[in-house]
Amino acid sequence: MTEVGNRRELRIAIIGAGMAGILSAIKLREAGLSDYVIYEKADRVGGTWRENTYPGVACDVPSHLYSYSFEPNPEWSHQFSPGAEIQAYFENVARKYGIDREIRFGEEIDRCEFRDGRWHLESSKGEQDEFDFVIAATGVLHHPSYPDIEGQADFEGSLFHSARWDPDVPLDGRRIGVIGTGSTGVQITSALVDRVEKLCLFQRTAQWIMPQENPAYTEEEKANFRNHPEQLRELHSQISQLFAAGFANAVVDADSELMRNIEEACTANLEESVKDPILREKLRPNYRAACKRLVISPDFYEAIQKPSACLVAEPIERIEAKGVRTRDGQLHELDVLVLATGFRVDRFMRPMEVIGRNGRRLDEIWADRPTAYLSISVPDLPNFFMLNGPNGPVGNFSLIEVAELQFDYILQLIDLVRSGSAGSVCASAEATAAFDRDRVEAAKKTIWTTGCHSWYLDDRGIPATWPWTFDRFREEMAAPKLEAYDF
């Protein structure tokens, strides 16, 4: 770290070249911090949108909100765009800003150790380097979760996780099984049901489905967006405010009128869309809407009622050579079996080894469960920040907007070191413990604690996500409370 005038020249490592890593590089350069290195374990940018290529993959946040605020996209095809378009968007942004030339592809960071006032990084290629700051932009949805079902190795057809989709496996006219009824399973069902001989959706838990209109943007609308970029920025702002005032506020108050309105819409969608009373009751959840991550779909109920579709609500006994056997003894014969069983959302930057101040290891700090002050900073990890870390707003919000707010906040802390006001900075143990106590107490009022099992819940059954309004998150991100930090 050298001094330039009265400001220190900092060297920064960015881990991950998905949405948050690309954002970090652009914003660092904009702030005059051009000495950074981006490490990416894969061979191209994109993060979760690179990993997930299954049929029907799409975002459940409106496209014009799921975009960088500084880089609106007039070319979105639909209000909710498919995954391939989102992946192309990130590739185009990285190319436009020259970020793609600055990434060390195929280089995963195995170890980060803080010693002698700097972070020492070691990559999977054996390369070593030193940095003043580390920004972990490693994402949440990238470690597939595999179900504990007997006999997976016995299956004679093609079996893979939805996040490891095999494009070489033929699907048309075949018998497909999908295990899992979250957003991924729902999207795959809608995308494939008209292409296959049979599609069996194995349901452990029924899901509430929020109806969704997904109109295509006309060429005239896209031309208008191109010619009037200020309208795109205004649209981004409007959708953001609608999200904050609507769904984001509803889920943190289980007794709110907004939450009741969402539940009524989901119930009406089920009642009006599914004609067969037996199928309707199989599809009816026994918990409140949005207790699990709310699934949004324009056509799932239509898809699951088609002649080629079958909903299997009987528990799975095991997987066999020819298919899936359920507890009632029936063998569902299949050619392809897809595990749409989600992700290990408690991993974050792990399995990377992180060793902080005084030899404190992240695995020790997180021995009980992941936690971080404002989802950004961990005690005893100086000058180490996360984007979309533990306990942040991850439920049906735009993680791009979350990351932008977080990065502006982080940059204020980096500037304290850059200006010479501090040598290092991380959240204090006291502030982190107080934040966690407040978070746990506030979580009791949210919809996520009303009686379901979901990936939001930690080992204690406490939602591991932001339990307050999104407006409060914006307020917290406006400026750091310096008394919460060790310098």
Residues 43-59 have pLDDT tens digits of: 999 999 999 999 999 99
Residue located via tokens 């107490």 = 441
7 pLDDT more than 90: no
C-alpha–C-alpha distance, residues 47 and 43, integer Å: 11
Q: Which of 123-137, 153-167, 196-210, 382-396 has the lowest mean pLDDT?
A: 382-396
- What is the three-class DSSP state of 482? helix
Mean pLDDT on 236-240: 93
Mean pLDDT of the chain: 95
- What is the model's pLDDT at position 3? 47
85 pLDDT more than 50: yes
- What is the three-class DSSP state of 58? strand
> What CATH number belongs to 2-143+344-486?
3.50.50.60
Q: How confident is the model at residue 345 (pLDDT cuts 50, 70, 90)?
A: confident
454 pLDDT more than 60: yes
348 pLDDT more than 90: no
- Which uninterrupted H or E stretch holds 404? helix 399-418
- What is the model's pLDDT at position 243? 85
Q: Is 417:383 a contact under the CB 8 Å cutoff? A: yes
Q: What burial class does residue 100 get, using C-beta atoms within 10 Å of its C-beta: 0-12 exposed, 13-18 middle, 19+ buried?
A: buried
Give span(s): CATH 3.50.50.60, the chain: 2-143+344-486, 152-208+255-339
420-458 burial by CB neighbour count: b if 16+ within 10 A, else e? eebebbbbbeebbeebbeebbeebebbbbbeebebbbbb
> What CATH number belongs to 152-208+255-339?
3.50.50.60
Distances (CA, A) of 291 to 76, 269, 437: 30, 17, 21
Mean pLDDT on 426-449: 96
Distances (CA, A) of 365 to 34, 354, 357, 370: 32, 10, 12, 8
Residue 50, token pair as written in the block: 């690179």
Residue 198, token pair as written in the block: 């049979």
Nearest alpha-carbon partner for 296 in 217, 214, 204: 214
Q: Which residues contact 98 (CB under 8 A, 6 or more apart)?
A: none
18 pLDDT more than 50: yes
445 pLDDT more than 70: yes
- What is the model's pLDDT at position 6? 58
Tell me how crowded residue 116 is: count the other CB atoms within 10 A of its CB: 7
4 pLDDT more than 50: no
- What is the model's pLDDT at position 347? 78
Tell me how crowded residue 94 is: count the other CB atoms within 10 A of its CB: 23
Percent of the chain topping pLDDT 90: 91
244 pLDDT more than 90: no
Mean pLDDT on 442-456: 93
| pLDDT tens readout for residues 323-339 | 999 999 999 999 999 99
- Which uninterrupted H or E stretch holds 316? strand 316-319
283-307 burial by CB neighbour count: b if 16+ within 10 A, else e? bebebbbbbbbbbbbebbbebbbee
| pLDDT tens readout for residues 143-180 | 899 999 999 999 999 999 999 999 999 999 999 999 99
Residue 449, token pair as written in the block: 């604690």
Distances (CA, A) of 444 to 254, 380, 441, 452, 465: 9, 29, 6, 13, 12
Q: Is 450:288 a contact under the CB 8 Å cutoff? A: yes
Give me the amino acid identity at 476.
E
Helix 399-418 to helix 19-30 angle, to the nearest 10 degrees?
A: 40
Q: Is 380:44 a contact under the CB 8 Å cutoff? A: no
- CA dihedral (326, 332, 335, 338) in degrees, to 10, reads -40
Instruction: Tabulate helix, strand, coil % of the chain (nearest 5).
Output: 35, 20, 45
